[in-house]
Amino acid sequence: MGSADETFAFSVKTDSWDHYAKYRPSYPESMWLAWLDYHQGPLETIMDVGTGGGVGAAGLLAVARARGKQVKRVYLSDPNDDNLSAAKKNFTAERFPGVEFLFHRGPAEELFPDIPLHSVDMLISCASIHWMDVETAMDTFADTLRPGGTFGAVVYPQPTVKGDDQVAEALGAVFEQRRRFQDKSDAANVMESIRARAYRNLSIGLDYVPFRSDRWTFVHRRTANLPKDGKWPLRDSTWSHYGEPKSAVAEGEDYEKVEEDENYIRKGYTVDQLKEFFQTLGYEPFVMDGMLWETEAFRQFEATVKSKGSFDLVWPVATALGRAK
């Protein structure tokens, strides 16, 4: 990885994206259908920012094609070379006939080169917008989309355990331990790091994403699978450690709260599966070399689960849709 890549906190080696897709929740068809129902007008051009290996764009293309919509051009951007290499490997003429793919290495806050302003039909950000300077990014997205074009974002932060407070608390302690390892890697700039900003953002789902009324309309927000207290996992400890984010939810926006979305629940989950999932959070050295599994927090979690058998893992999930003016 080059020095420029080190600015950006999330990077997956090209060959690890198959593993990533296997052990992460997949974006459900129902989400893409809801986004397509929301969308108005043509759908000839799509942009996926912070694309990673292109998981989001691939899902949207598949469902759009099943609906008889022929997307002609897809723009994919990511600040990391390894991520883009994986995306280039996945998007070929053989897999997606009739679709032109254009790639750009760069942050989402910057305009995609050589694209006319206000020309893209739909722009998506899948599990990536929390890394961005969101106010700058949202202005860029509004400049990119045609009038009436759709912006869609989705995130699913740290999972928790459904129906067992003891196991859920033990798992929360493991995530806290992971954060302590991350703080060491961020060294003296912990509070100002991109990672700290991402943690602050994710502590309120997508409520920090601003849809300025002069640039966006028909905003729809949705959350699902939140714990009974309505807090996102690790919210309180995140606020005390990194600071509290500012909510951007505005009067007049449509806000849907869903108690349970089974697409983001895995029943009968095992410790071994959880270890694989932890790898996908960034293939961090302290996970890959097993250091996290040797901590007291993980040993306590493992002992708690052993006495109960498997557990049901649930990811809280948030989506946000907006229509460019």
CATH assignment of the domain containing 74: 3.40.50.150
Q: Which residues of the chain have pLDDT under 50?
A: 1-9
- 124 to each of 57, 131, 322, how far by Cα in Å? 8, 14, 11
- Domain residues for the domain of 138 are 3-156+318-324
Q: What is the pLDDT of residue 16?
A: 75
Q: Give Cα 117 to chain centroid, integer Å.
A: 25
Q: What is the pLDDT of residue 3?
A: 32
pLDDT at position 309: 83
Inside any domain, residue 126: yes
pTM of the model: 0.93
* 184 in a structural domain: no
What pLDDT is stored for residue 183 in this prediction?
83
25-42 pLDDT per residue, tens: 999 999 999 999 999 999
41 part of a folded domain: yes
Which pLDDT belongs to residue 193?
82
Residues linked to residue 105 through DSSP beta bridges, in sequence order: 78
**Residue 119 falls within a domain, yes or no?**
yes
**Within-domain flag for 177:** no
Q: What pLDDT does 186 receive?
A: 65
Give domain status of residue 240, yes or no: no
pLDDT at position 134: 98
Element (H, E) at 219: strand 216-224
Measured between alpha carbons, how far is residue 250 from residues 41, 220, 257, 286, 322 in Å? 26, 11, 16, 40, 13
Per-residue model confidence (pLDDT) at position 87: 93
Number of domains forming the structure of the chain = 1
Give domain status of residue 219, yes or no: no
Residue 99, domain member (yes or no): yes
Scored b (16 or more CB within 10 A) or e, 163-189 reads: ebeebbebbbbbbebbbeebbeeeeee
* pLDDT score, position 225: 98
Residue 291 CA to residue 34 CA, distance in Å, equals 41
pLDDT at 8: 47
**195 touches 186 (CB < 8 A):** yes
161-209 pLDDT per residue, tens: 999 999 999 999 999 999 999 887 665 565 678 888 999 999 999 999 9
What are the residues facing 46 on neighbouring strands? 74, 122
